[in-house]
């Protein structure tokens, strides 16, 4: 499945947050979205899942119909929320304010787009599969509010995966996590994309995590796409200086060829 965004605009009252954003997500691709605070990363993610409705522009899904051997183009505005949830899974930022429920029941909620409120043995098996995949079986009967931020994030990933989506949307999945859990969560996401052949869009602050895990990177600034391409072409000293106002040293990692960013200093306004 391919996702296409065309000229999307979104405003909170009189404040324009997204200004003519166009982008594409290919099949089995991990796309990282980076940019300063307030540049529209999270807003874009929510527009792709109809949590927010853009004032202008379209979000399209190209779906291959195997039975009729043809490509079907679907506008998400014309899809029911249940139908959309079967195509796109959403993983929010880690939060301590979670509705009281066991880990098992929280993950089971991900089956609702397929079965409504009644679960079957198949749904239970799907939950057990996700518990094993995310290595959180021991927490199955625990209240989700008793878990750490990293453990909660695994539960949210498991819940989204039980929807059996073609696309995952992740809004700052490593926020408030220590470095070990950041790497663990990103490794899980990357492995899931590889094993299940799905795609993912990840809004992320850490440029080195974006460089390490993304197939392509979109750099946003002031509600627009400033640069797009492979990590090495986007995460350059010039782009980081222009967008973040930070002087940085960027070197290529000899092990994987990915850029590695070391911030040097904040650039004064009169230097920009």
pLDDT in tens, 18-54: 999 999 999 999 999 999 999 999 999 999 999 999 9
Task: Tell me if 170 sits within 8 A of 200, measured CB to CB.
Answer: yes
In whole numbers, what is the pLDDT of the chain averaged over residues?
90
Beta strands in the chain (DSSP E): 2-12, 15-25, 30-34, 56-65, 70-75, 88-91, 167-171, 199-203, 216-221, 224-229, 246-252, 259-266
Which superfamily, per CATH, for 2-93+165-271? P-loop containing nucleotide triphosphate hydrolases (3.40.50.300)
- What Å distances lie between residue 105 and 96, 111, 112, 125, 148, CA to CA? 17, 10, 11, 13, 17
pLDDT in tens, 77-97: 999 988 898 899 999 876 555
Domain boundaries along the sequence of the chain: 2-93+165-271
Q: Is the pLDDT of residue 17 over 80?
A: yes
- What's the pTM? 0.90
At residue 12 the predicted structure's pLDDT band, cuts being 50, 70 and 90, is very high
At residue 230 the predicted structure's pLDDT band, cuts being 50, 70 and 90, is very high
């Amino acid at each position: 499945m391919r996702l296409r965004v065309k000229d999307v605009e979104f405003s909170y009252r009189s404040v324009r947050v997204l200004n003519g954003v166009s982008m594409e997500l290919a099949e089995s691709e991990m796309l990282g979205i980076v940019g300063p605070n307030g540049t529209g990363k999270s807003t874009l993610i929510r527009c792709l899942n109809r949590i927010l409705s853009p004032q202008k522009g379209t979000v399209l899904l190209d779906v291959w119909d195997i039975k009729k051997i043809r490509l079907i183009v679907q506008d998400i505005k014309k899809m029911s929320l249940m139908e959309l949830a079967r195509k796109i899974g959403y993983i929010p930022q880690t939060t301590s304010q979670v509705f009281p429920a066991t880990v098992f029941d929280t993950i089971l909620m991900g089956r609702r787009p397929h079965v409504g409120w009644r679960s079957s043995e198949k749904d239970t098996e799907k939950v057990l599969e996700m518990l094993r995949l995310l290595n959180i079986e021991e927490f199955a009967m625990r209240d989700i509010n008793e878990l750490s931020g990293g453990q909660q994030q695994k539960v949210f990933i498991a819940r989204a995966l039980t929807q059996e989506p073609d696309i995952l949307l992740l809004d700052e999945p490593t926020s408030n996590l220590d470095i070990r859990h950041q790497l663990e969560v990103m490794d899980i996401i990357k492995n899931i994309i590889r094993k299940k052949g799905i795609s993912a869009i990840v809004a992320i602050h850490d440029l080195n995590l974006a460089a390490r895990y993304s197939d392509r990177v979109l750099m946003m600034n002031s509600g627009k796409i400033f640069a797009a391409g492979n990590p090495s072409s986007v995460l350059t000293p010039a782009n980081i200086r222009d967008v973040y106002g930070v002087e940085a040293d960027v070197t290529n990692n000899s092990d994987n060829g990915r850029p590695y960013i070391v911030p040097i200093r904040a650039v004064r306004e009169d230097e920009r």
